[in-house]
Amino acid sequence: MLLIPWAGLQFVLELDQALRQQALQQLQDQAGRLAQTAGDLSLGLPTVTAHTPAIYAKNLDNPLNLDGYGSDWPGYDEEQQLQRWQPIEPLDQPLENTNSPSMRWQAAIDQRHLYLLIRIHNRQPVFFNPGAPEQGHDQLRLWLSPANGNLGADLKAESWLIRTPAPGKVHATIYTFGATSSTEEKADYRVHGAWQSVGDGWQLELELPKPPRGSRLGFSAQRTGSKDMAQISTSTNPLPVLVARKPELERQLTAGMSRGQNARVAEPAGWVIAQQATPSRQAQPEFETLSPLQIIEHISLNALRALVQLYQPKPVTLAANTNRLDVDELPGEGLVRHEDNSTWLMTTRPVFGDRTLILEQSLDQLLTLSGSTLGSVIARSMLIIISLMLVLLGYASWLSWRIARLQRSVSASIDQDGRITGTVPVSRAHDELGQLQNYFAQMADRLHGYNRYLESFSQRLSHELKTPVAVVRSSLENLSHSESEEERCQYISRATAATERLRKILNGMSEATRLEQSFDHADKEVFDLADVIGQATAAYRALDKHHQFEYAGPESGVSLMGSPELMVQLLEKLVDNARDFTPQGGRIQIGLEQAEGDTCLFVFNEGSVLPNNADTSIFSPFVSVRKGREEGHLGQGLLIVQLIADFHSGRIEAGNETRNASAGVCFRVRVPAAHV
């Protein structure tokens, strides 16, 4: 029974594995179609490789307030989030390990504008003095060129210079430059923002017109008037590629995705240019609206989820809310885990331009894609299995307790010497164990009576043997002292009579055993019982003149399958028993009756009746109800009757009756009639 839940869990795990494999195959097919769609929409876009400098611009959902502080930027934190900004130095270089000036930035984009948040660390700002423009001051220079452009190429590009005499709002001055010259132009109010002193440096927040797809953008923080023109700059040759998510690509991905999926397209450098997710399932119902059965079902479902996740392959950790992935470290397929501890089934497909499509399916629901319906069915099945196991375990425990109680009762009824000292209580239950207990109770009663008889049997046997043995002994002693032949003959005669009595006693003890052994060799045949009983009654009538024998029954035509010799022996024992209790001149009636397919042989005798309080069956071995009659009688006659009746598949009954105003005892032997 304890294997039942284990088997159920194995079934759930095998089903989960099969469905997960099926889901992975479907996910791979779906990823192939989405990769084809993404490749078609990526035609003409520059590929960003691992060695290509890039500036990643996040997509904005809400407009920004250009105040120079950046508190409304997504994910902005003055200190905690600084490491998440895009730096010039490597990401793993701790900012606090050096006192040299450094620059980090964030970029964002919406439908119309590009936003930059540039942070200079470890350099307090020196503002521009319009009255003395030659004095050293901090300024920011921006470059924007079409796709594949750089400062060394012979093509037109735009450049802006941003400086301010004081913290606050700023606007840019636009320049036009080529390969060999640059010409200052007028102020460009399209590029504007705010400059603020922040911490140990300064921060600049800018808004630019949204550049064309594939443009390159660079900037440099400079301090004029210094010997080395201290400059912190992005790559200038080539300029970094401006990378952002493509809304049109995301819309096309959404059209081909199923519920509970997450799709991303990444450049070879790992920059995510498209990311879309669909809800995995409907909102959970309120706890107050659930019925007790639904509450138990949800608890079971959560437990099964935990068990399935415990036996699932260990998932690989994969960041979900990130702008850049390590494409080289991505597993080709399998289970992955996000930061929120959710588990997903993932597969990848190559996209045109060496890009990669990552498609994930949520495993938040039990059994992969089986959904709440199958999960509920399995949860209910597991509940039924567990409930059934508990019921069976309780029932088995109850049966075990009853068996143990019966065992204790049986053990308590027998002492260490094997004697029956008590009785087994009768059970009121009507099942098999109740019947078994009642059988034990009957067996204990019979064994108890048999043991009582065996305990008294030695006394009875000693009493029965004492007299003939004493007669033999005294006769032999007197024989040695006798002087006349008459005395010797008298003593010899007494010893011979006592010896004959001993022989009869021993023969009576062994007669039942010999009879049981003869059953193995006895042959059954169909004979007329009425004819056999009629002849035997006539013989008794002729041999015994002291009793009146009567026969009541048909003269012939009563067929029986059995042994006529054994039936005669059975009748002889019943008649002998009747003669012992019938007075001189009393009536003994022998007859045959037929009722309900059975043949009934009965023997009725007038005289003393059976005791009403007999505690032992008179058909048991060594039982006799005679009181002082016929010394040497050990009560074996009725036992032989019982054995012969059993051999003929019959049963024997005894009871007191009154016939023709005479009280007596009637013995009936019922045997099945033969069908001829």
Question: Using CB atoms within 10 A of its CB, is residue 480 exposed (0-12), middle (13-18) or buried (19+)?
Answer: exposed
Q: What is the pLDDT of residues 391-406, one digit of tens each?
A: 888 888 988 998 998 8
What local confidence, expressed as pLDDT, does residue 467 receive? 79
Q: How far apart are CA 600 and CA 121, in angstroms?
A: 122
Task: Kindly state the DSSP code that residue 45 receives in the 8-state scheme.
Answer: P
Confidence of residue 116 (pLDDT cuts 50, 70, 90): very high
Please give the helix or strand (H or E) that residue 473 lies within, else none: helix 432-481
Confidence of residue 203 (pLDDT cuts 50, 70, 90): very high
Q: What is the pLDDT of residues 217-228, one digit of tens each?
A: 999 998 887 654
pLDDT beyond 50 at 149 = yes
Q: Following DSSP, what letter does each residue of 243-275 receive, concatenated?
A: EE--HHHHHHHHHT--TTEEEEEE-TT-BEEEE
pLDDT beyond 60 at 630 = no
Q: How far apart are CA 600 and CA 453, in angstroms?
A: 31
Mean of pLDDT values over 516-530: 81
Mean of pLDDT values over 24-53: 85
Q: How far apart are CA 12 and CA 5, in angstroms?
A: 10
Q: How far apart are CA 631 and CA 522, in angstroms?
A: 33
Q: What pTM was estimated for this model as a whole?
A: 0.55
Mean of pLDDT values over 509-536: 80
pLDDT beyond 90 at 156 = no
Is 367:16 a contact under the CB 8 Å cutoff?
Answer: yes
What local confidence, expressed as pLDDT, does residue 165 receive? 92
pLDDT beyond 90 at 418 = no
What local confidence, expressed as pLDDT, does residue 205 receive? 94
What local confidence, expressed as pLDDT, does residue 127 receive? 92
Confidence of residue 97 (pLDDT cuts 50, 70, 90): very low
Tokens standing for 391?
A: 């019921």
Mean of pLDDT values over 304-324: 80
Give the number of C-alpha atoms closer than 13 A to the C-alpha of residue 273, restricted to the C-beta side: 29
What local confidence, expressed as pLDDT, does residue 508 receive? 67
Could you give the C-alpha distances from 149 to 43, 210, 264, 355, in angstroms and in order?
19, 17, 28, 22
Q: How far apart are CA 383 and CA 87, in angstroms?
A: 56
What local confidence, expressed as pLDDT, does residue 94 receive? 42
Confidence of residue 89 (pLDDT cuts 50, 70, 90): very low
pLDDT beyond 60 at 126 = yes
Please give the helix or strand (H or E) that residue 358 lies within, else none: strand 355-362
Confidence of residue 166 (pLDDT cuts 50, 70, 90): very high
Could you give the C-alpha distances from 565 to 29, 130, 539, 562, 571, in angstroms and in order?
93, 149, 15, 9, 10
Residues paired with residue 589 on neighbouring β-strands, in sequence order:
550, 604
Least confident window among 127-141, 184-198, 247-261, 307-321: 307-321
* Nearest CA among 115, 102, 140 for reference residue 57: 115
pLDDT beyond 70 at 364 = no
Q: What is the pLDDT of residues 634-657, one digit of tens each?
A: 566 787 888 888 888 888 888 888
Confidence of residue 451 (pLDDT cuts 50, 70, 90): confident
Q: How far apart are CA 253 and CA 137, in angstroms?
A: 49
For the chain, domains (ranges, CATH) are: 3-45+247-375 (3.30.450.20), 54-228 (2.60.40), 429-511 (1.10.287), 519-672 (3.30.565.10)
Is 631:467 a contact under the CB 8 Å cutoff?
Answer: yes
Mean of pLDDT values over 495-501: 84
- Residue that wins the pLDDT comparison between 555 and 509: 555
What local confidence, expressed as pLDDT, does residue 379 receive? 65
What local confidence, expressed as pLDDT, does residue 629 receive? 45
pLDDT beyond 90 at 426 = no
Helix boundaries (H) for 312-356: none
pLDDT beyond 70 at 345 = yes
Mean of pLDDT values over 456-476: 76
Is 437:427 a contact under the CB 8 Å cutoff?
Answer: yes
Is 588:533 a contact under the CB 8 Å cutoff?
Answer: no
Confidence of residue 347 (pLDDT cuts 50, 70, 90): very high
pLDDT beyond 90 at 172 = yes
pLDDT beyond 50 at 542 = yes
Q: What percent of the chain has pLDDT over 90?
A: 17
Confidence of residue 613 (pLDDT cuts 50, 70, 90): low
Please give the helix or strand (H or E) that residue 205 lies within, else none: strand 201-209
Is 653:667 a contact under the CB 8 Å cutoff?
Answer: yes
